[in-house]
Amino acid sequence: MNILPGRIVDRLKTNPGFLAERFDEATIMFADIVDFTVLSEKMSPPDLVQMLDRIFREFDLLADKLQLEKIKTIGDAYMIAGGVPIARADHTAAVARMALEMQNIMRTELGDLGLRLRVGIHCGPIVAGVIGHRKFIYDLWGDTVNTASRMESHGVIGEIQVTEAVYTRLKDEFDFEARGPIAVKGK
């Protein structure tokens, strides 16, 4: 079972206690299953958990394949980071590939579930660290994280909402469709 990234475990073994670091460049993605709360009220607990497990197992395999870091799931939300805890030059492209593949998986391999995702991505500086004593967690903080979350919540169902920063990095590598300005809290 992986509770913490391997690199973080190694650091904590050699230097137990507090761990925090800043990454000047990282890419954060949030994905949310649309109308999941309504669906969860209609399903039995075993069926609900089995469905979520099926979805998140597929996403976990994809994250491993693309060497991205699953940060956490919160209910039906899934958070991924690229460029942490190990920096890499292609972190934004790798996260974009994951987002595209997640949407594809939901339409094809998991199409029988009839569910759709809303996805948001942003890149920039973040702070990462381990918090907690008994149930510790490797987590991320900062405006980049908040903005990625806002991109998801303001996104279009079945699409991937990215910021100008993501677009600027990837415009020569991926196809984009302009959406126009959107009002985002705190921006």
Told to judge if 33 belongs to the known catalytic residues of this protein, a careful annotator would answer: yes
State the total domains in the chain: 1
Q: How far is CA 95 from CA 70, 91, 131, 132, 181, in A?
A: 11, 6, 25, 27, 23
Residue 37 lies in a domain: yes
Residue 36 lies in a domain: yes
Residue 45 lies in a domain: yes
The bridge status of strand 117-131 relative to strand 137-141 is: antiparallel
Residue 176 lies in a domain: no
Told to judge if 157 belongs to the known catalytic residues of this protein, a careful annotator would answer: no
How far is 116 from 134, CA to CA, in rounded Å? 35
Residue 150 lies in a domain: yes
Query: What local confidence, expressed as pLDDT, does residue 12 receive?
Result: 59
Q: Please tell me which residue in 8, 32, 55, 126 is annotated as part of the active site.
A: 32
Write down the pTM of the prediction: 0.90
Q: Provide the residue range defining the domain that includes 140.
A: 6-12+20-170
DSSP category for residue 156? P
- Regions in the chain scoring below 50 on pLDDT: 1
Residue 98 lies in a domain: yes
CATH code of residue 57: 3.30.70.1230
